[in-house]
Chains A and B, each alone.
Chain A
Amino acid sequence: MSSGGFFEVPSDLQNSWWGLVGWQVELTLVPVLCGLVIALPIALLCRRFGWVYPPVLGVATVFYAIPSLAFFVFLIDYFGESSVTVGIPLTVYSLVVLVPAIVDGMRSVAEDTRAAAEAMGFGTLRRYVQVELPIAVPAVIAGLRVATVSSVSLVSVGMLIGNEGALGNLLSDALNYHRPLLAWDAVLSIAVIGVLLDALLVLARRLLTPWARKATAK
């Protein structure tokens, strides 16, 4: 049996290298997108009722302080050794980053612009959705970048939950089979995926905010 090349994945993982990459991306992005979908209404509530924001921020920070491993172990009782168990903590961590990003982005809209919207007869919700949220897009994407990069590395911890760690599973195989190259494979692949996903988000911001070209070029 050959000791295997860089991209040769041991058969016990039941996946090709590309398969692991796809899985890694899925485990990374699904929680971030769930986080975004949940964060939007929470952020709108915080924007509408200012007093909601500090307690929400407090609760979120407490969640963020829970070590991911403890979180996983706790959730195994409910969801077993599954990708849901891995996904829930990552979703929560994304929320913690995204809610303040959206709220602060919406608050940063220039006073003149907000006053103009009010004076032109925008209702409150309409003003949030049609004026403040679009103007907050660069801030929201900045939050998505942080959430995505932290998510992509945290996914690998899932290897401890019955091999639910995508590329992270290579790390346990590196130990089991004494193949340090597999560890290098995991680390480098995850890093490259992180950089690529980040680049995609930057590209998305450019496409979504042609009106901010000057500001982002600074």
Chain B
Amino acid sequence: MIVIDAVTKRYPDGTTAVDRLTLEIPDGSITVLVGPSGCGKTTTLRMINRMVEPTEGRVLLDGRDIREAPVNALRRSMGYVIQHAGLFPHRTVVDNIATVPRLNGADKRAARRRALELMERVGLDAAFAKRYPYQLSGGQQQRVGVARALAADPPVLLMDEPFSAVDPIVRKGLQDELLRIQADLGKTVVFVTHDIDEAIKLGDMVAVLREGGRLAQYAPPAQLLSAPADEFVEDFLGVDRGIRHLSFFGTDTLELTTEPIVTEDATAEQFGAAAVPETPYVLVTDAAGRPRGWADAAVRASGPLDGPDGELLPYGHAFTVGRDSLRAALDSAVLSPTGWAVAVDEEGRAVGVVAQESIAAAIRGAHRAGVLR
């Protein structure tokens, strides 16, 4: 466990970057420091590996003041990933990753073997091993940065806005990769970001810092969304925190109905029989059960048709039962012109549909159960 104990950092010009901050960072989980620029989050992170020394207070690692150990030994026991990866331009990918094992005295062959293992772990093809950083995209460089930080198998991983400089699609990929790696390795990760969505997605615990380096709230993300400590946190979370909170709830309480679902080769009679009182539409699937779109049941039941009447209304996107959250289900219903969300299984086959009204009822139910405050 890392304990930041009443730490203050004041600079000679009088600015206070961090103000009496106390945080207990649990082992084996991701703790995110989030806040606007100037809130001291990077300074706090750098006090953990002594790139910045606190003016007051102390930092404890497993109960011992980090100043007791030699500084370079401390740093080699903590992986570090920064915004633009900060790779060594004059070293190949494999040698970049092998840096810390080499510093620790591993021989070149063993260090390179280890580096190749890590490339696989972070999803980099071994063909990149002999390339230089300038030959990689931003996302690939960042993967190398993560691999380099993990190379000596440090118990602690410090990450300073590691995914901020890449485009949103690459960023999502890197975030998912980090969660996957973390599920395997269970490092103690301290992650700095200014992006509250990233904090909520990645954090087991989230510390919201405000200007002047003061702690505004330290809580698990769901609690942050349901019970922001004050107006600053509420503002920082943004206007759609209610919707975002729904991403912490599963869809297993939703009542799906399979009644208004027909395959595309259904007869007029079958269309008529599938219609339910709540909606004039039925969901049409292909022979394998994958959703195609919505059709007007009354029109289809009145006989064979062609032309525009035969076209299907789009269903937006489906949500996957057991994997996606209530937020995804609601989004699916909002996107669908019929107001009904389509639920699919892992293979993409429609397993039911659910109306906006039923999803709203499920949210009300969650409120009543006290899980959504």
Contacts and interface: CB of A to CB of B under 8 A. Distances in A.
B76 A120 contact: yes
B75 A214 contact: no
A121 interface: yes
Contacts of B55: none
Nearest to B134: A214
A76 interface: no
A135 B72 contact: no
Contacts of A115: 51, 82, 86
A116 B82 contact: yes
A214 B131 CA distance: 13
Contact of B51 (A118, A134, A210, A215): A118
Contacts of B132: 210-211, 213
B89 interface: yes
A209 interface: yes
Contact of A112 (B73, B75, B83): B83
A119 B89 contact: no
A102 B76 CA distance: 28
Nearest to B49: A119
A77 B158 CA distance: 63
A213 B148 CA distance: 23
Nearest to A209: B90
B51 to A, nearest CB: 6
A122 interface: yes
B89 A212 contact: yes
Given A112-B83, A116-B80, A119-B75, A134 B99 contact: no
A118 to B, nearest CB: 6
Nearest to B135: A214
Interface residues of B, number: 30
A126 B74 CA distance: 17
A119 B51 contact: yes
Nearest to B96: A116
A110 B133 contact: no
Given A119-B51, A121-B100, A113 B87 contact: yes
B86 A112 contact: yes
Contacts of A114: 86
Contacts of A122: 72, 103
B128 interface: no
Given A119-B80, A120-B99, A211-B134, A112 B85 contact: yes
A127 to B, nearest CB: 10
A134 B49 CA distance: 26
Contacts of A54: none
Contact of A121 (B72, B145, B148): B72
* Consensus secondary structure, chain A interface: helix
A101 B88 CA distance: 20
A126 B91 CA distance: 15
B84 interface: yes
Contacts of A50: none
B134 A116 contact: no
Contacts of A119: 49, 51, 75, 78, 80, 82, 158
Which of the listed residues A110, A131, A211 has the most CB atoms from chain B within 10 Å of its own CB?
Answer: A211
B89 A121 contact: no
Contact of A116 (B74, B87, B92): B87
A117 interface: yes
A82 to B, nearest CB: 41
Interface string A176-218: 0000000000000000000000000000000001111111000
A123 interface: yes
Nearest to B104: A121
Interface in B37-92: 49, 51, 71-76, 78, 80, 82-92
Interface in A107-161: 110, 112-123, 126, 131, 134-135, 137
B73 A121 contact: yes
A192 to B, nearest CB: 33
Contacts of B72: 121-123
A120 B87 CA distance: 11
Contacts of B78: 119
A37 B40 CA distance: 44
Contacts of A120: 75-76, 80, 99-100, 103, 148
A50 B46 CA distance: 24
Which of the listed residues A112, A131, A210 has the most CB atoms from chain B within 10 Å of its own CB?
Answer: A112
A211 B91 contact: yes
Nearest to B158: A119
Contacts of B89: 110, 113, 135, 211-212
Contacts of A110: 84, 86, 89
25 contacts: A112-B83, A113-B86, A115-B82, A116-B80, A116-B145, A117-B88, A118-B51, A119-B49, A119-B75, A119-B78, A119-B80, A120-B76, A120-B100, A121-B73, A121-B103, A123-B72, A131-B88, A135-B90, A137-B90, A210-B132, A211-B89, A211-B132, A211-B133, A212-B90, A212-B134
Given A116-B145, A135-B90, 13 more contacts: A112-B83, A112-B86, A116-B80, A116-B82, A116-B87, A116-B88, A119-B82, A121-B72, A122-B72, A122-B103, A131-B90, A137-B90, A211-B91
Q: Which 6 A-B pairs have the closest CB atoms?
A: A116-B86, A112-B86, A119-B80, A121-B75, A121-B76, A121-B72
